[in-house]
Structure 1
Amino acid sequence: MTAPPHANILSLATATPAHSLTQEQVVDEANRVFAARFPKFAYMAPVFQNAGVLRRQFAMPLDWYLRPQGWPERAAAYDAAALDLFCEAAGRALADAGLGGDEVDVIVTVSTTGVSTPSLEARAMARMGFRPDAARVPLFGVGCAGGATGLALAARLARAQPGAKVLLVCVELCSLAFNLEALGKADIISTAIFGDGAAAAVLACEADGFAAVTGMAEHTWPDTLDVMGWEVGARGLEVVLTRDLPSFVRREIRPAMEAMLAAQALGLDDVGRFVCHPGGMKVIEAMEAAFDLGQGALDHERAVLADHGNMSSPTVLFILDRARRAGLPRRSVLTAMGPGFTASAVTLEAA
């Protein structure tokens, strides 16, 4: 049997946890906690004002983060909060597609901010009503690139099994890596920009959707393992940010994107809109400069960053959700970068 030409995105939904803080509230607490213990905090403090973040949502209440938390406490928080977000986002996506959990054939789960075995989709089986024979595909380690990488994988799986309904769920609890005992530059930056959230989408080939996945590509730069990622510390996962990411993006992303598009017989001029993961405000500006988009062109990226911060893998799907509600152009490219260091790109054709 010949595989269908494309997988269609039938629905897209998002979810955030209930604990919401303004950036001003975060700054007040950061000053109280860090200023006396981190001599360079006053130098780093403008990061909070320049991050482009106005509000974020967190898995746990504020006082939880102000107490020392070890591996067991962080793991327990991840298992409970990530499962709730998984089910909320997945339930909304399935409802929007007019499907029940028992109609899902494949579940792709993307999460890199916690370690759960069995993984989240297994924990959600009974609550979501998934069939016992549904295929489980957990994806770990791709970080902020996971929204694009997961969407590409879900599209591949939908094409490989014509008629199958594939559920993609991205869940990240970045806040669980906040660590009062770690006071490096990367920790201050992560405290200023990261938030928690989830997004889900349903894909299938033989059903109508709002967009078709017509191409996908990845580019991994050599000798870049130290750009971003996690280290395993005594208290849990600890953030790694060791290079000037905006400068790297400004210098490297355009030739990589041109090569990824060329493999699809496309060029930058063939793309009506880029849907970009916003690593931070300076990364957004670097993407606009690299693609000659003009300052302010990535408006949905700025809006999502302001309302939710950087939620890692779900973030680019939050942006896609806003872009599709505003009206997608005929062709768009969803792209995100993450540990590896890797850029993932997914080409979309609007229905």
Structure 2
Amino acid sequence: MPAPAQLISTAIAVPDNILLQSDVAAAAGEIFGPRFREFDRMARVFDSAGIHKRHAARPIDWFREPRSWPERTAVYLDVASALFVSAARRALDEAGLLATDIDTVVTVSSTGIATPSIEARVSGALGFRPDIERVPVFGLGCAGGVSGFSIGARMAQARPGTNVLVVAVELCTLAFRLDEMTKANVVATALFGDGAAACILRAGEGGLATVEAAGQHTWPDTLDIMGWSVDPEGFGVIFDRSIPPFAEAEMGPAVDGILGRNGLTRSQVDRFICHPGGAKVVEALEHALDLGQGALDVERDVLRDYGNMSAPTVLFVLDRIRRKGLPNRSVLAAMGPGFSVSCVSLVAAE
């Protein structure tokens, strides 16, 4: 049986522009208040989201003007490429590798469209070999960080000794819409930030942790819970208010099923490393997984400092926890469009 994949390194990167939540709330009041009758009632979401600041592809004033899809795409290509390079270089440096040592690159992103995909656009800047295998992954949203990690681990295990770079990069703020007077748009404005995370995986010995198992669960008839609509100005957020109660009711059995298929139980997990989609989602996950209030403390810290960056966010949590010291067994978990949950079990190196 081939050796399991090892986590070799992790790294994160964010844009330079910082959005303080207080400034975003004030700007949202100016933009939505006069035109959206329900905004005053919804404005408390900016205080209850659990976010102090976020990083964005552009300064706050850029979002005050109408933006076309071509404008948004130009920013996506520019900033996503820069963040990819920054996160990848940091992961390579930490692993003691060069870009020429990477055999496969998995790129996870659902907040922009790029053909050729981002890893091809930055290949020259990073110095990838011409024979590198490219695996772009689109459409997994918030679950993409865990699913991309799982894909990278399987590719590393299939070809022992090769190095797999996984990069999740999302520019969620580019989905902000001046034309959509909807609750979903207001909630997204209160939650979303931009960032990238990278990790390197390799089958063999000597990593930070062993990738023990992975799995997914997709609930039937849930396509309308989360996703994008596509219209002339760009992506429009689909963000159902039922996500926290859905997570509280459904996440436990789904995770138990994934663990059970891999011969594990929840009692054997020392730490769940979860995607902090929002303060209410974090609380719902603590209830769903019987973790106790406050157990997902690092998740709350990442949410406070970066907001919900979609796919990279759970890898920000992983990066922060592993720098403190991974527990014996941890399980990455994230929910995303589908509606689905993706999990990966890690066993820390001794």
TM-score bracket, shorter-length normalisation: over 0.9
| Counterpart in the other structure of 2:2 | 3
Tell me the distance in 1 between the aligned counterparts of 2:244 and 2:60: 30
Contact kept in structure 2, 1:9 and 1:210, CA below 8 Å? yes
Tell me the distance in 2 between the aligned counterparts of 1:94 and 1:87: 10
| Cα-to-partner distance string for 1:300-349 (whole Å, 9 max, x where unaligned) | 00000000000000000000011111221110100001000010000000
Contact kept in structure 2, 1:226 and 1:243, CA below 8 Å? no
Tell me the distance in 2 between the aligned counterparts of 1:163 and 1:266: 27
| Cα-to-partner distance string for 1:56-90 (whole Å, 9 max, x where unaligned) | 00001112111110111001000000000000000
State the Cα distance separating 1:287 from its structure 2 match. 0.5
State the Cα distance separating 1:241 from its structure 2 match. 1.2
Tell me the distance in 1 between the aligned counterparts of 2:321 and 2:10: 11
State the Cα distance separating 1:233 from its structure 2 match. 1.3
Q: TM-score, normalised by structure 1?
A: 0.98
Matches within 5 A, 1:45-84: 45-84=43-82
Tell me the distance in 1 between the aligned counterparts of 2:231 and 2:124: 33
Matches within 5 A, 1:233-252: 233-252=231-250
| Counterpart in the other structure of 1:158 | 156
| Counterpart in the other structure of 2:19 | 21
The amino acid that maps onto 1:199 is A
The amino acid that maps onto 2:88 is A
Contact kept in structure 2, 1:331 and 1:350, CA below 8 Å? yes
State the Cα distance separating 1:32 from its structure 2 match. 1.1
| Counterpart in the other structure of 1:345 | 343
Tell me the distance in 2 between the aligned counterparts of 1:77 and 1:142: 21
The amino acid that maps onto 1:348 is L
Tell me the distance in 2 between the aligned counterparts of 1:129 and 1:167: 13
Tell me the distance in 2 between the aligned counterparts of 1:294 and 1:214: 25
| Counterpart in the other structure of 2:143 | 145
User: Does residue 301 of structure 2 align to residue 289 of structure 1?
Assistant: no
Contact kept in structure 1, 2:19 and 2:59, CA below 8 Å? no
Tell me the distance in 2 between the aligned counterparts of 1:70 and 1:36: 23
| Counterpart in the other structure of 1:32 | 30
The amino acid that maps onto 1:306 is R
Tell me the distance in 2 between the aligned counterparts of 1:269 and 1:211: 19
The amino acid that maps onto 1:345 is C
| Cα-to-partner distance string for 1:30-70 (whole Å, 9 max, x where unaligned) | 11111111111000000000000000000011121111101
Matches within 5 A, 1:187-336: 187-336=185-334
Tell me the distance in 2 between the aligned counterparts of 1:189 and 1:242: 10
| Counterpart in the other structure of 1:43 | 41
State the Cα distance separating 1:206 from its structure 2 match. 2.5
Tell me the distance in 2 between the aligned counterparts of 1:192 and 1:236: 19
Tell me the distance in 1 between the aligned counterparts of 2:19 and 2:257: 41
Tell me the distance in 1 between the aligned counterparts of 2:263 and 2:152: 23
Contact kept in structure 2, 1:109 and 1:170, CA below 8 Å? yes
The amino acid that maps onto 1:187 is N
**Two-structure CA RMSD over aligned residues (Å):** 0.7
Contact kept in structure 1, 2:226 and 2:339, CA below 8 Å? yes
State the Cα distance separating 1:107 from its structure 2 match. 0.3
State the Cα distance separating 1:242 from its structure 2 match. 2.7
Tell me the distance in 1 between the aligned counterparts of 2:15 and 2:23: 17
Contact kept in structure 1, 2:102 and 2:162, CA below 8 Å? yes
Q: Runs of 4 or more off by more than 4 Å in structure 1?
A: none
Tell me the distance in 1 between the aligned counterparts of 2:85 and 2:251: 34
| Cα-to-partner distance string for 1:114-158 (whole Å, 9 max, x where unaligned) | 000000000011000000000000000000000100000000000
The amino acid that maps onto 1:74 is R
Q: What number of residue pairs does the alignment pair up?
A: 349
State the Cα distance separating 1:207 from its structure 2 match. 4.1
Unaligned runs of 5+ in 2: none
Tell me the distance in 2 between the aligned counterparts of 1:318 and 1:241: 22
Contact kept in structure 2, 1:284 and 1:301, CA below 8 Å? yes
Contact kept in structure 2, 1:93 and 1:200, CA below 8 Å? yes
Contact kept in structure 2, 1:111 and 1:172, CA below 8 Å? yes
Tell me the distance in 2 between the aligned counterparts of 1:174 and 1:85: 13
Q: SS where residue 212 of structure 2 aligns?
A: strand
| Cα-to-partner distance string for 1:86-119 (whole Å, 9 max, x where unaligned) | 0000000001001111110000000000000000
